[in-house]
Structure 1
Amino acid sequence: MSLCSVFRPLRLAPAALAFALLGACASTGGSKPSASVNALYGQLDQASKGYETALQQSREGNLEASQLTLTRSLDQLKEAAARCGNTPGCDPQKFFSVFDHMLRLKDGDFGGDQDLDSDVDPSQAALAAGKGGAASLPQAQRSVTLLHGQKLSQLIAMNGPVKAALEMWLTQWRPQLMDAYVNYQYMRFEMWPQYEKADLPEALLFGIMAKESGGKVHAVSRSGASGPLQFMYATGTRFGLGVDNGFDTRFDPAASARANAEYINEQLRIFNNNLELTIGAYNGGEGRMRRAVGDDTSVSFYDPRIYNQLSQETRDYVPSVLAAAWLFLHPESYNLRFPKVDGAPGRVILKRPASLTELTVCLGSAGGMSDGWFRTLRNLNPRLDPQVTQPAGAQLQLPKPLERAYASRCVDGPWPILAGDLHHAVVPVVQAPVASVPSAPAARGSSRYKVRRGDTLISIVRKLHCSSVQEVAEMNGLKHHRLALGQTLKLPACR
């Protein structure tokens, strides 16, 4: 039995999967659609209109009616999608187009748990109550999706380069995407408020960070770009990043997010809110982008007049950032589920001296962190050398759920002892062999010789048995090895 014949309607999340199956199953002939196909297309149109009605009801605060309308329209859409797979002549691309349209409509517009595909579990990105204002931060899928009055999703063209980048993030780059998401959730309370103040969408911040560093605060590129958002030194200085008591503030998550937001807004003003050109300027340099664009800021990034002038890195960078931002908004629509992360900030006051590396050892895999907590501890304490022992009484930042784990694992018992023993292990130092410096040859004495008839420079040197024509010529300043009868030569003394 084929997969197509057993396809059944699913909850819409994975309506995207349903559409993908339809793409493999349906026949798309070039003939005029049959009555049954037209009926399916009509059902698809009704589902789309019902979805828009549900959105409007949600905006008006009528959540109960919105939920009923939403459920009805989604059921209608799933039913039509399932039937399309068994209907000759039905074009599944129409269902893909409607699905993409719905994704662009829905961002941040449904209240409560209503959503097209339940992108994120309601508790996934919610930050628990705690210090630092984390409790007031909105959930990830509810955060600002507008860019200067326009929905971010409306500004992301689902073209070939972006689709190709989506595939890369979902396959080869998937580990980096997942690491970036986890790293970001623990730094979110520092970084997102900077973007929120600048009226920029959180998904854009995540997209840039995922592509630039994967959320590694201390990342440094070969060109010298540094920090989670990879600022070059000169650009960072222009936006207030510099050295503070010996610390490069490009490595500070909050400071770098603030500087990045200022940069993005500056370039958006220059390029008349053209997001693709702005992102391209961030990667390839605003000077180069301005020269390429000239006065026509409405031009597409993909216009050959622009695109062909850019480096391959920038051509890849722009769609990669946009694709990561899109996945941040619509993960489950692409069969992607980000892990649940409690990113509430916490603090501990050390009860005993410890370095970040020692704390990583004694915390182990607390909270289910199989990769350990080293990266998170470094990201949250960027000014500290992870190898340097911090004194008792020092205050460190860490995720709030780790406060209890620290108290139970890192204050008393075997784990801090083990961690300290490993950290203070003495590694033998192997002295590199000292290269012997050849002693300068002892100064040779000299003697004098009076040139006789028939002498040549070669015959004189042969009598010495310890020198060369070149040495004797240089000692006497002879040119072309010419000798004069009666000339007195200085010769090296032979031993």
Structure 2
Amino acid sequence: MDKRQNGTFSRIFVKSLKAACLCVVALTTCINSEVRSQGRGATASNSEIPMEVANRNLEIQRVIERSNSYFQSAEYNFKDGNFEKARREFDKSVDIILESGLDVRSDARLQQHFVSLVDHIYERQMTLMAASPAAAVTQVAYEQSGQQPVAASQSSGGQEKGGSDRGFGQQTFSPSPLDELTTLKLTEEETKGVTDAQAQSAVAAARIDFNFKPNALIQSYINYYMGRGRATMEQGLRRSGRFTTMARKIFKEEGVPQDLVWLAQVESAWSPIARSWAAAVGLWQFIPGTGARYGLRQDYYVDERSSFEKATRASARYLKWLANRYDGNWELAMAAYNSGEGRIDSAIARSGYADFWEIYQRGLIPNETRNYVPNILATIIIAKNAERYGFSVKPEPPLNFDFVKVNNMLDLKLVADATDTPYDYLLALNPELKRGVTPPADDHLLRLPAGKGRLLQTALTRIPPEKRTSWRMLTAQTNDSFETISRKTGVSASALEQVNGGSLKPGEKVIVPVSGSVRSVVFNSNRNSSTPVVSGGVARVITYKVKRGDDLGSIAGRYNTSVRDITTLNRLGSTSRLRAGQVLKVPVRR
């Protein structure tokens, strides 16, 4: 993940970030389109434009002030412990900007306010997570009947009994191809001599299962993918095999044209861990707010925007809802999927046309959305007739996995040990697990390579629930003994023998009862002692200088320790805010 993505990594507390940045129209376009609407062919005077700019500056100032008033109220409630009310007001402070129709990136004041707002709200989220991960759990269900979003059940309890709130790993992401759409410009070679008739011929040959207007621009994007965009198209066609069977099935069940599954190629290049600069995530690039609206859980442990099945169903339902909104016009539905229905509603109202190509010609939609719809249509045409366009890519086979229901927290490293499955592959099969563990006190459906479920279930009968985030397993080799395994792992031979019985056989799974995260920090039981003591030979303590953007959870994750151990060693409260330059004692593995 590059620095630009890393800087926006965890801002999941803010709802609808993508709408703020994708729902944009350049300032000059807005001004020019308004000028064109002032009479038939009339030209605006030089004095009219500054007046319009002045009015817009005043509007920006009002939006900032109104947004800031909700933020200040949210801060007050947060400090007073009214976290739910604070969350609603934090959301409202952002919504005011999102719903204003203003281009966040075209005005320095508005952009600075927005970025500062998001950063502050993110800090508040991290404070809650450090205090108790469960306190930050928010799950919203969206009822298709049109009811308002309602709160759903939360994870019960903070940390599991006997477990530790240790710093689990963080999600990693890949770039979203959406980021390139904003600046993509077709070359003269790609557009030269292209006609609507050519596009009509391409559409007819593809036999697409929904109606739209063929346009020369679609053929231009076909030319783009046959040339300089070939590598992008080939990568998507190859990856698509993992998911298209599943996606087509779900789209069919939801009554959405199955060819629209190719929207995922433009959104994410079929990567469940794709993340755009605007905080959209997953195959279908849901922003936090829209994901919550369609029932996708987003909390400390799980982000279902990266789920294969749940995010696909949410995408189908959202597309269907948008198509119904625009009387079955799938071009407008796709445009609204990208930029938000508010932007498309506004463009329709200003132009008087409920037609994508009309609002395109009038410059009433953001550049990314202008590129987005013809890109999808070109992608569908190529995907359905790849050889005609010179592509001979063999799609990868569908992912083959079983679901296994697990409860309590379970570390995927233990799952990897028990099932002889590479840890990275388990992460790839379960991209919605943000920290490499299943959530506490939930029945979670874990994906395992087909046929591996029985191995995991057998292993879990041998390991107490409260030890499933710390204990590990390994396979006994020829000539292994408890003594040799002790030397490898640092766990005493007597402890190994106690949990595994009296003998070892080659090929047998051996439980390694490590404490904490392979090495444990043990504190002095003498209550009069003011200094935490590290048990001999099991861990060491380093000093760490806090950097800008650090929080307790990220530091704990980096050194495979726990927030609790760090706060105890440094006599900090669980909600303490770190300062850049602050020096901490951190217990780490040898």
With the shorter chain as reference, the TM-score category is: 0.3 to 0.5
TM-score of the two chains, using structure 2 as the length reference? 0.38
Please identify the structure whose Cα radius of gyration is greater. 1
